[in-house]
């Protein structure tokens, strides 16, 4: 198989390439134990092991494993004990699941425009903002606002990234959320984590994620005297086992990304009209992000890369001011809940109606890096990308 053909088929991203039966020791342990529910055993469950390992790796006081990152965002919001209709300031450039998490909690999303990095622009936030979600998109470490009591970091696309002071993303605010969706840095198909250094926040999230009670391992079902209603977000042992296997390879994966990024920055063509946007030292270098002269050049580059079987994507789909859930205030409820608690008028903060952000997205092209490849093949892959882009 040629290198270009291999690149064309590597839509299995990042951690998926480390999935191998010979390496699935945690999953084999779970199957041998024949217990797939985390609270069925008095010994350390696999989910508890995952939470312990991720606390150590990320430098967090508390971690909770859940089904997906949307649930993690919901738990973080619920733990703030909001009132129905409270506003949550969130990025205008991110996946719609963030808005869905806000709305499903009965809260109102306010879209905040992006800065040049395509992260939330903290200068647009009002001084009294209480709840803010900042997304670390595409491995980029976003600038965080100061003085926000309930700052939630959405780290779905940036597991392993670090702030300039060395802290892991997700640990600087009230809570941090992570995703193990198929297209993330590590994967179990679906899966999520929420972390916090706030003891009370973690306790509230732990109760809510299992029907309002803090379960005692090995004594399920039991109920706390102060139980309240909640939902079932409890992860399974087999999913946690795959995530433990993935975490064992996180540093190896990040090193592979760093190596290929360095090769690309050295060898890619120096074109002012097709600029590779530099990444900061702490970013998780999941892709090469190009800023093209105009959309026509971007679309030509997309067509050329696709014709050669080289994976690539654009980011226009993340512009939430154009999503029908936001533009039409769509709801599954007959009374429009929770939009019926929203004020009339715009719930969007931008200096120019998102014109600059639309333009940046129209000119942005991303090409994923391949951390699983040995260095010689990474060099060849970069040369293939260069050959295509030089001809555009």
Torsion, Cα 69 75 76 82, to 10 degrees, reads 140
Which tokens sit at 22?
């010979």
Assign 198 to helix, strand or coil. coil
Indicate if 184 belongs to the active site. Answer: yes
Could you tell me whether strands 87-91 and 274-276 are parallel, antiparallel, or unpaired per DSSP bridges? unpaired
Phi and psi based region of residue 131 (left: phi greater than 0; alpha: psi -120 to 50; beta: remaining) = beta
Question: Residue 262, Cα to own-chain centre: how many angstroms?
Answer: 23
Q: Is the dihedral of CA 32, 34, 39, 43 positive or negative?
A: negative
Q: Phi/psi at 276 (nearest 5 deg)?
A: -80, 120
Supply the angle between the helices 199-208 and 69-78 in degrees, to the nearest 10.
120
Q: Phi/psi at 322 (nearest 5 deg)?
A: -110, 5
| Catalytic member of 184, 285, 317, 383 | 184
Which tokens sit at 280?
């900061």
Enzyme catalytic residues: 184
């Amino acid at each position: 198989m040629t290198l270009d053909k291999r690149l064309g088929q590597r839509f299995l991203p990042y951690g998926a390439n480390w999935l191998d039966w010979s390496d699935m020791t945690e999953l084999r342990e779970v199957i041998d134990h024949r217990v797939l529910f985390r609270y069925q055993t008095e010994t350390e469950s696999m989910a508890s092991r995952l939470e312990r390992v991720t606390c150590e790796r990320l430098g967090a006081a508390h971690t909770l494993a859940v089904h997906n990152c949307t649930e993690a965002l919901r738990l973080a919001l619920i733990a703030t004990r909001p009132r129905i209709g409270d506003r949550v300031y969130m990025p205008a450039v991110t996946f719609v699941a963030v808005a869905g998490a806000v709305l499903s909690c009965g809260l109102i999303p306010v879209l905040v425009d992006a800065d040049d990095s395509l992260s939330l622009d903290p200068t647009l936030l009002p001084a009294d903002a209480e709840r803010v979600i900042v997304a670390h998109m595409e491995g980029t470490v976003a600038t965080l606002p100061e003085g926000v009591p309930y700052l939630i970091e959405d780290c779905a696309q940036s597991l392993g990234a670090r702030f300039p002071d060395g802290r892991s993303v997700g640990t600087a605010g009230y809570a941090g959320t992570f995703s193990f969706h198929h297209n993330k840095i590590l994967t179990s198909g679906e899966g999520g984590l929420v972390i916090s250094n706030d003891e009370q926040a973690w306790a509230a999230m732990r109760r809510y994620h299992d029907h309002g009670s803090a379960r005692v391992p090995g004594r399920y079902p039991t109920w706390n005297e102060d139980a309240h209603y909640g939902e079932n977000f409890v992860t399974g042992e087999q999913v946690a086992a795959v995530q433990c296997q993935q975490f064992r390879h996180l540093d190896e994966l990040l090193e592979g990304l760093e190596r290929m990024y360095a090769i690309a920055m050295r060898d890619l063509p120096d074109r002012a009209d097709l600029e590779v946007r530099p990444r900061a030292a702490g970013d998780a270098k999941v892709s090469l992000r190009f800023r093209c002269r105009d959309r026509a050049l971007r679309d030509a580059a997309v067509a050329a890369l696709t014709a050669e079987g080289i994976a690539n994507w654009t980011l226009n789909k993340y512009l939430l001011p154009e999503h029908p859930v936001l533009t039409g205030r769509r709801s599954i409820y007959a009374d429009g809940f929770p939009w019926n608690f929203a004020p009339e008028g715009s719930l969007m903060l931008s200096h120019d109606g998102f014109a600059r952000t639309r333009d940046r997205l129209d000119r942005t092209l991303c090409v994923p890096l391949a951390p699983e490849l040995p260095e010689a093949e990474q060099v060849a892959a970069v040369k293939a990308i260069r050959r295509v882009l030089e001809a555009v």
